[in-house]
Amino acid sequence: MNNISARGLDRFPREQFEIASEMSNPDAVLLRSAKLHDWDIPDTLKAVGRAGAGVNNIPVDAMSKRGIPVFNAPGANANAVKELVLGGLFMAARCMGPAWEFSRGLTGTNAEMNQAAEAGKKQFTGFELPGRTLGVIGLGAIGVNVANAAMALGMRVIGYDPQITVRSAWNLEAGVRRAHSVDEVLAAADVVTLHVPETDDTRGLINGARLAGSREGQVLLNFARAGIVDETAVVKALDQGRLRTYVCDFPAAAFEGRTDVIALPHIGASTNEAQENCAVMAADEVRDYLETGNIVNAVNFPELMLPRNGSGDRLTVANANVPNMLGQISSAVAEADLNIADMYNKSRGDLAYSVVDIDGKLPDDVVTRLRSTEGVLAVRVIE
């Protein structure tokens, strides 16, 4: 539904897959920024792949109710965003934005411009990074990369993420100090960078009350989502001197004409490498699910990978996470006089997912029976 990198589309062999920008009955959809909230979800749809991290443009709840996993590409653009965050950090520390604008406004001869530059440069005094404290809120792939890079620059780093994964924890430099709250980070850090998704829990995460308790003269970086920060509160904190500079990837009317705000046009993932990485990751996830039923990096279903066993069909069942669902699946297969060679079930919140390898071919009436079972959202048979 968007211009997906050709490297991603090439992951789908043309002898097995038909690919088009418009299709009435797709098995899967790949997209970047296209909005699906008003889209009529076709009955044929089995998967959605987002070539990026955020899924605000996808009605995830509606997809979940139909048993459709929504895949994204976490970490595929991590290096691109990390580099832009570091760029924003350097720009804020050395007042590059206002200094550049000042220089662009100089006129006259070289001698006159040099004289004006020498007279005006005192207003752009910045600070060096070694010994300063960077606070990182959100320690996913991007947050970890930023934290580690800051450590290499000689900064002290304090991080907060109550849902940090084992993978992220392993990748994080040992010297990163753990914070127990957002407020602790804001109170301790000279610079704070945000790397959390926009959800009901994180919307307005940085607000007036929190900024009132932040370290005075702080730099705030937001390359995550605009809604995480209360723009009105940021402007007030800038006017009060509570914030020194706000650097973000989201222009807004509230920031117009301000020299203490550096607002970029949402270019965090705008590199050729990031676009390719995101497309390849999303394509691989969708193809793997279509061909094997395995789920990796779905935002709404549990991660589940099962090597193919048995000599027959593979059955996959997405269902509400309710008691006795496994029993009903097993009974339906057993009553068809079929043996289960292997079975794997996992749950995530209100949803569960099962993969069942069978010795033999699954009759249509078993599939019909399972689809009519209360709590079952979707049933697939992979031959």
All residues at 6 or more sequence positions from 36 whose CB lies less than 8 Å from its CB, including other chains: 1, 29, 48, 57, 58, 59
- The full DSSP string for 36-73 is -TTS---TT--EEEESSS--TTS-HHHHHHTT--EE--
Q: Is 225 a catalytic residue?
A: yes
Of the listed 118, 256, 374, 383, which one is catalytic?
Answer: 256
Decide if 194 contacts 218 (C-beta within 8 A): no
CA atoms lying within 13 Å on the CB side of residue 378: 21
**CB atoms closer than 10 angstroms to residue 87:** 15
Q: What token pair was written down for 278?
A: 């995101």
Three-state DSSP state, 137: strand
Q: Is 256 a catalytic residue?
A: yes
All residues at 6 or more sequence positions from 8 whose CB lies less than 8 Å from its CB, including other chains: 30, 51, 276, 278, 279, 280, 282, 283
All residues at 6 or more sequence positions from 50 whose CB lies less than 8 Å from its CB, including other chains: 31, 32, 57, 58, 70, 71, 72, 73, 282
Could you give the CA distance from residue 64 to residue 318 in angstroms, rounded to a whole number? 9
Q: Is 180 a catalytic residue?
A: no
Of the listed 156, 225, 242, 314, which one is catalytic?
Answer: 225
Tell me the residue type at 163: Q
Decide if 63 contacts 48 (C-beta within 8 A): yes
Burial 307-336 (b: 16+ CB within 10 A, else e): eeebebbbbbbbbbeeeebeebbeebbeee
- What is the Rg, in whole angstroms, of the alpha carbon atoms belonging to the chain? 25
Of the listed 177, 266, 369, 380, which one is catalytic?
Answer: 266
Measured between its terminal Cα atoms, the distance across the chain in Å is 28
Could you give the CA distance from residue 143 to residue 82 in angstroms, rounded to a whole number? 8
Q: What token pair was written down for 23?
A: 């299709």
Residues labelled catalytic: 225, 256, 266
